[in-house]
Structure 1
Amino acid sequence: MSSGFGMCATWGPGRTFFYNEAYVPFLGTRHPGAFGRPIDEVWHDVWDDIAPLVERAMSGETVRLEDLHLVMTRRGRPEDTYWTFSYSPLRDGDEVMGILDVAYETTEAFVAKERSRVNAERVQLALGAGAIIGTWFWDLPTDRFTIDEAFARSFGLDPALGHEGIPLEQIIATVHPDDRNGLIAAIDEVIARGGNYAHQYRVRRLDGKYYWIEANGRVDWAEDGTPSLFPGVLIDVEERRAVEAERDRAITALRTLNDELERRVEERSADLLRAEEALRQAHKMEAVGQLTGGLAHDFNNLLAGISGSLELMGLRLNQGRTADVEKYLSAAQGAAKRAAALTHRLLAFSRRQTLDPKPTDINRLIRGMEELICRTVGPSIELAVVEDTVLSPALVDPSQTENALLNLCINARDAMPEGGTITIETANISLNPDAARIRDLPEGEYLTLCVTDTGCGMAPDIKSRVFEPFFTTKPIGAGTGLGLSMIYGFAQQSGGQVHITSDVGEGTTVCLYLPRHHGDVEIGDTSDERRSLSRSDQGETVLVVDDEATVRMLVADVLQELGYAVIEAADSVAGLRILQSDIPIDLLVSDVGLPGGMNGRQMADAARQSRPELKILFITAYAENAAVGNGVMEPGMAVITKPFAIEVLASRVQEMIARP
């Protein structure tokens, strides 16, 4: 097996595989592990193809395969190669014990033969179509062209010159100036490499017009490796080029039309976006008008009650008639409380109310409200509660949750004037990305608190507006239209969402989605019993900072009534100056929104640099994120919302001062 041909052999019952050095390129990465292994393991990936050939040789037949195509990696890249194989049996006496496979490469001969076949087919096709319009024979060493009469006519030359032989420069004299350099470069390239040649260009004929032709030929080299002969034919491609030019024009026109369509679509889209924005702005202004109109209406009524009661109180006091003062005082206080409730609902809708979230057992909360709900909805309404017995707790403000649940039950009652059933249901739920996207929530784990009625239901146009402030379907005076908007704001501020399902005549289901809380529930004292407020024996010092003089005066009077020493400041600069002094301060009571360049939270944080144990009570009209640390109170901080009852203020102050 020392031959220069690639040779391999198998021997013995196991068909052990052997090969010479010239066979290694066939094996690729199989070498050297293939040596001495069974042939079916070496060529396992192609065994189904070669097994029949091996079996034929093992049966005593000589098998020959010519020009077998193989893709081989040589010179660092895959190459198309062609090989001839000869399988012969190897005998030990009369018994065939193996096979011998001799392989040699036929790539160059096969490619040359295939090229000749393709060229012959091309010429035959051209001749059959009448496309050949001339032939040439170029003797490269002497640079003499011999051309036929058709070639001469195609180039606008004298046909007599073609028999004598003319130089290349005279041949290309009638080539279009724009095509001449490309033609010369193509000719130089094929002479340098040898082989096939094809190039299209324009030539001027005797009528003075330019026509497209294609020159097809082949450069043959002499035995010494120098270019020798360059024969070829001319093919008329004028019609083909005309078709291609028409196609290119059509493509260009189509692209232009497409660009124009895209431009018009963009303009139309921009117009639609502008119209949509204008419509959105109109809806926004309509909502603002509805909000301000409803707000002005309700507050004017409340202010009329307050101012009228105060005027009558003053009149009765001047007259010495004190018997009616208590009546007017109660009326003014009632109107003030209703005004506070109204602003609370507005803040809930805008998601800026002050929440006090705690781990809450929603099932326990519902059980604690069942009696109140039954009394509120009346005897004609049946109440059913369906609890999830393994319901997770929720981190929510319990009082606001109770308020939301009561509002939902009242709305359900109003939807069933003839009586019906209200069902309160709780459940744990996990939302995958698709379900969460439908409900406008992040995916994750939630619990649901749903209230379902058997009432009249809602039409789609009504359902789409129920969260708008002051929107109501109830008669004038029967509702403010803030109930559902408040619930919507509360749910979103708590990290959840509200979802309504309703059809006319089929009832309504309103579901609160609230994030689950993974922790224990604190069971606090639910007694409504008020603590008795006693005067301080220590005379602790409280700093009150508020830019509203009336509020500052009232807070100071309440605290002084409780026996505290009070220091007042009207802005954050004056307050911080006192806090950075040596004056002992046991409690800071501060508004959130303050003039002086700092809000109440910023002033408190600055004060804690020198007084780290300072106790702080914020009083605010709403919970600004910057003031309350994005809703998170630090230890020793608390917040109450304006307007507040005097008892609430006094109780919270005493509670904070009493803390260690």
Structure 2
Amino acid sequence: MARLIRDHDWSATPLGPRSAWPQSLTTMVGMMIAAPNPMVLLWGSSGVLIYNDGYARFAGKRHPELLGMGAREGWPEIADFNDANIRRGLAGESWSLEQQELVLDRGTGPESAWLDLHYAPVPDESGQPAGVMVFVSEITERIRLAAHEAEAVERLELALSAGRGVGAWDWDIAADVVRADERFARLYGVDPVVAREGAPLEVFFSAIHPQDLPGIQAAIARAIEARSAFSKEYRLVQPDGEVVWVVAEGRCVLDAAGRLIRLPGVSFDISERKQVEVRQAALLRLHDELTALDDPGQIPAAAARVVGETLNLAAAYVSLDKGAKPSGAERDGDVTLDAKRPRQAWSPREHPEVFTTLAQGRPVAVADVVQDALTRDKAAPLTAADIHAFAAVPLLERDQLVAMLFVTDARPRAWSQIDLDFLQDVAARTRNVLERLRAEAGRSESQQRYQTLFDTMDEGFCVIEFIDGPDGPLSDYVHVEANAAYAEHAGIGDVVGRRVRDMVPTEADSWVSLYRDVLETGRPIRFEKELEATGRWLELAAFKVGPAGGRQVAVLFKDLTARKRAERALADLNASLEARVEARTEELQSAHAALRQSQKMEAVGQLTGGIAHDFNNLLAGISGSLELIAKRMAQGRGAEIGPYVEAAQGAAQRAATLTQRLLAFSRRQTLAPRATDANRLIGGMEDLIRRTVGPAIDLEVVGAGGLWLTEVDQSQLENALLNLCINARDAVAPGGGRLTIETANKWLDDRHARERDLAAGQYISICVTDTGSGMSPEIIERIFEPFFTTKPIGQGTGLGLSMIHGFVRQSGGQIRVYSEPGLGTTMCLYLPRHHGSLAEPDPLLASPEPGSGHGETVLVIDDERSVRSLVAEVLREHGYATLESGDGPSGLRILDSEHRIDLLVTDVGLPGGLNGRQVADAARMRRPDLKVLFITGYAENAAVGNGLLEPGMEVMTKPFAMTDLAAKVASMIEA
């Protein structure tokens, strides 16, 4: 400190340079530095700190920065305390503070310190106090030691005031008399009166276990010799034979001359702790023994042996699983326990309450089988087996009792919780080891099968793991596993541990790219590729292995080089035969073309034959009716022609229906699609369907919640659905059955869409399922052919399903059939989803009678003269003026004229190079408000706007009733 004070820059402090210090200050500093005890001089009103080496040690890590600082800045945590003391000292007062507690931060954080402080004023040259000298003595350790001693005394007093397990003694060594309290006397089996008055040490030693007595005597002798503390653990044998573990702790007491006079102390009952330690040691031993065994059959016997030796009781590991195979444990609940004396077999199943408790996963502990409620009614078999107390701990697998650990005593015994916890630990660990060995055996067997397959498979196989290379993440991979066939097929050996960029550097990029795509997408691939480094062609399959975030890909491959060479040789041979093959090919193509033409003609013949058959029947009805009408008119019997007119009209209507079905099959009918809620449509038809299928069929409608809209021709969908229900009715007849109509939303991905011959996207499905006779695959292949039917002659046209197929396909959907003979059939219609909103239905109005015109002009364009004449005549009868044209160009010339034209009625298919839609579009360029009615018998939807007609345009399909035509014309003109 003398050096530090000499070298310190005091000019920056209130004291100024050292050369300017007053003599009194210099003298006082010199005296302080020479003193061994901690001293500090607080100079001036700010208390500038100057101190010696003892105080430097006291300051800790705050030294040497404290030197020259003011007391407030140096010790900010006790600034007020120092300020008050400086003021007292500068006032000329001397005083002391003993056991002063201060919280100081000496560089390691705030902590309490206890100090004895003595303060004295220091005068300057004038004799007035200019500073304060502080003598510092730290007594922190002494205070803490005293507190610890007080705590120890308190703990001892608490221990002595505790229950039965603790006792105190005081041995007068010179007189060899031990005086003890009642608790100590009971612990050592001595009469409390004798213990209180005093007895020789041997009286108390008589209760110590013979094996432990030499050790306790030696420990006492060592303590006396060293005049030190005494501590020893040992066993006491109680009068009833119970063994109690105690620990005795004492200390030697000396007189003033240093002679040993007494050895007082206390004893604690540590039996419970010793039981825990013994059982923990047993569990460690159990772990070591079970770990060393690899035969599951030896595990239960080893566990029972450890338990028996630890508790000095008979023990067994008992299987209670009827289906379990023997595994070294007692089986089927029959217990024969190892002991020195023979015992009879006993089964816990004889005690239902015991067995039920175990099955619930709860242990059973019976202290006395004769007294316990669980066993007293059937105690005889137990006592006959020399079992007077027992404990059983269950083991459950999937909530089923499979085994128990069973321990018995030949005498009644109170089972402690420590005993039961020990048994549960042993049972659980034993079962875990058994399960582990079984699992390891299974894994070993599985691994052995895998290894055998891996080593003996003909194909090359490897596992690669991607790593981060110089070109970035996942830019390289290393071979982590490869079988012997790898080198045989690839022509490269010793690949394990090698990177692909080291093996085939020139082609590594392509291999990394292929396998990295498998790793990142998770999609397996199969491909053929040449390994340029060896010139071998390989057929490869790669797939990702391991966890989701792993980096491994497995590759299976075989050598195709020989096949590729054979293919090249074959190609060379083919090249030499090319001319002959080409010639022969031309001949075959000609033959195939002729065959295809023949097949087409056969199909057309089938179709036209069916059409001709049906139309001949219809024409016969029409021509016969007309013939009879003419005959009756000639006979003057005109009043009798009504039935023949009705017959002709009925045949004509059936012909129109047949035509519509053919158009639907050919996907050429004109549709009127609109946003449709299929659930609402089916609900509106439900009563009609029930009446149609009849009471013998149980109908169930299952509408999907939140069903999407679809855009479809509602009347055609109703016809299709009714047709499917009629077919289902016929399939379940005559015994009746079940018919289900179900709707659902379907989101078809690429794969599922391809399976249904549809574009990927969103659809609704309407499925009709019956429990009828079903269909064979051969019939399913033909059911959409026109005129094909499985119904008896006269019960079906064969056009119903072909019409539905054409309608659904024309609507952008698909129909699929699922059927098995004898199990029923499901017909599913898939219709595309409509993303718009559902339009409000038109208000229901009664169909009006055809109105009369007021001289409005209607232009009729149709290339069929009879149709054109009939339409014009009907319109004239209803008060309209008509203009007629037989083709598109002539009709357009009329439209270009000055004629007043209120409505254009035109066929769609017209001769002359302009169809009806083209005529209408051209006319509207000249007459924007012109209304147009298309009448068509055969038309592409595109010809009339693909179902999207402009405002003021409507369409009617031939044939139609002339009254319907007149009503339509009237409604359009009046609108």
TM-score between both structures, scaled by the size of structure 1? 0.59
**Residues 485-500 of structure 1: matches in 2 within 5 Å?**
485-500=802-817
CA drift at 1:647: 2.8
Question: Which runs of no fewer than 5 residues in structure 1 stay unpaired?
Answer: 1-42, 46-250
Rate the CA distance shift 1:253–1:573 in 2: closer, same or farther, 3 A.
Answer: closer
> What residue number does 2:625 align with?
309
The equivalent position to 1:260 in structure 2, one of 551, 567, 573, is: 573
Aligned partners of 1:601 and 1:626 also within 8 Å: no
The equivalent position to 2:771 in structure 1, one of 454, 458, 469, is: 454
Aligned partners of 1:287 and 1:468 also within 8 Å: no
CA drift at 1:634: 2.2
**Residues 596-607 of structure 1: matches in 2 within 5 Å?**
596-607=912-923
Task: State the alpha-carbon separation in 2 of the partners of residues 544 and 455 from structure 1.
Answer: 52
Aligned partners of 2:851 and 2:967 also within 8 Å: no
Task: State the alpha-carbon separation in 2 of the partners of residues 487 and 381 from structure 1.
Answer: 23
CA drift at 1:642: 0.6
**Residues 15-414 of structure 1: matches in 2 within 5 Å?**
255-260=568-573, 281-414=597-730
Rate the CA distance shift 1:496–1:276 in 2: closer, same or farther, 3 A.
Answer: farther
Partner-residue secondary structure (3-state), 1:455: coil
CA drift at 1:503: 1.1
Is 1:442–2:759 an aligned residue pair?
Answer: yes
CA drift at 1:284: 3.3
Task: State the alpha-carbon separation in 2 of the partners of residues 338 and 402 from structure 1.
Answer: 19
Partner-residue secondary structure (3-state), 2:883: strand
User: CA offsets, 1:45-96, max 9 Å, x none?
Assistant: 9xxxxxxxxxxxxxxxxxxxxxxxxxxxxxxxxxxxxxxxxxxxxxxxxxxx
Question: Which runs of no fewer than 5 residues in structure 2 stay unpaired?
Answer: 1-469, 473-563
Task: State the alpha-carbon separation in 2 of the partners of residues 526 and 553 from structure 1.
Answer: 35
Is 1:427–2:750 an aligned residue pair?
Answer: no
Rate the CA distance shift 1:508–1:317 in 2: closer, same or farther, 3 A.
Answer: same
**Residues 573-588 of structure 1: matches in 2 within 5 Å?**
573-588=889-904
Rate the CA distance shift 1:254–1:503 in 2: closer, same or farther, 3 A.
Answer: closer
CA drift at 1:264: 7.7
Rate the CA distance shift 1:337–1:430 in 2: closer, same or farther, 3 A.
Answer: same
Rate the CA distance shift 1:254–1:515 in 2: closer, same or farther, 3 A.
Answer: closer
Letter in 2 for 1:518: H
The equivalent position to 1:508 in structure 2, one of 821, 825, 842, is: 825
Aligned partners of 2:861 and 2:906 also within 8 Å: yes
Is 1:657–2:973 an aligned residue pair?
Answer: yes
User: CA offsets, 1:173-226, max 9 Å, x none?
Assistant: xxxxxxxxxxxxxxxxxxxxxxxxxxxxxxxxxxxxxxxxxxxxxxxxxxxxxx
Partner-residue secondary structure (3-state), 2:706: coil
CA drift at 1:526: 7.2
Find the structure with the greater CA-based Rg: 2
Letter in 2 for 1:475: P
> What residue number does 1:118 align with?
none
Aligned length: 411
Rate the CA distance shift 1:274–1:264 in 2: closer, same or farther, 3 A.
Answer: farther
User: CA offsets, 1:364-388, max 9 Å, x none?
Assistant: 1111111211222222122111101
Aligned partners of 1:305 and 1:332 also within 8 Å: yes
Rate the CA distance shift 1:296–1:263 in 2: closer, same or farther, 3 A.
Answer: farther
Task: State the alpha-carbon separation in 2 of the partners of residues 291 and 263 from structure 1.
Answer: 47
Rate the CA distance shift 1:313–1:593 in 2: closer, same or farther, 3 A.
Answer: same
Partner-residue secondary structure (3-state), 2:949: coil
Rate the CA distance shift 1:540–1:440 in 2: closer, same or farther, 3 A.
Answer: same
CA drift at 1:263: 7.9
CA drift at 1:258: 3.8
> What residue number does 1:563 align with?
879
User: CA offsets, 1:572-599, max 9 Å, x none?
Assistant: 2221111001111110001112122211
Aligned partners of 1:439 and 1:499 also within 8 Å: yes
Rate the CA distance shift 1:515–1:603 in 2: closer, same or farther, 3 A.
Answer: same
Task: State the alpha-carbon separation in 1 of the partners of residues 599 and 698 from structure 2.
Answer: 39
User: CA offsets, 1:463-497, max 9 Å, x none?
Assistant: 00111100111111111100000000000110101
The equivalent position to 1:632 in structure 2, one of 945, 948, 962, is: 948
Rate the CA distance shift 1:382–1:526 in 2: closer, same or farther, 3 A.
Answer: farther
Rate the CA distance shift 1:579–1:420 in 2: closer, same or farther, 3 A.
Answer: same
Is 1:476–2:793 an aligned residue pair?
Answer: yes
Task: State the alpha-carbon separation in 2 of the partners of residues 588 and 404 from structure 1.
Answer: 33
CA drift at 1:274: 7.8
Rate the CA distance shift 1:269–1:386 in 2: closer, same or farther, 3 A.
Answer: farther
RCO higher in 1 or 2 (8 Å CA, sep ≥ 6)? 1
Partner-residue secondary structure (3-state), 1:464: helix
Partner-residue secondary structure (3-state), 1:441: coil
Aligned partners of 1:592 and 1:624 also within 8 Å: no
CA drift at 1:262: 7.8
Letter in 1 for 2:627: E
Deviating more after overlay: 478-487 vs 281-290: 281-290
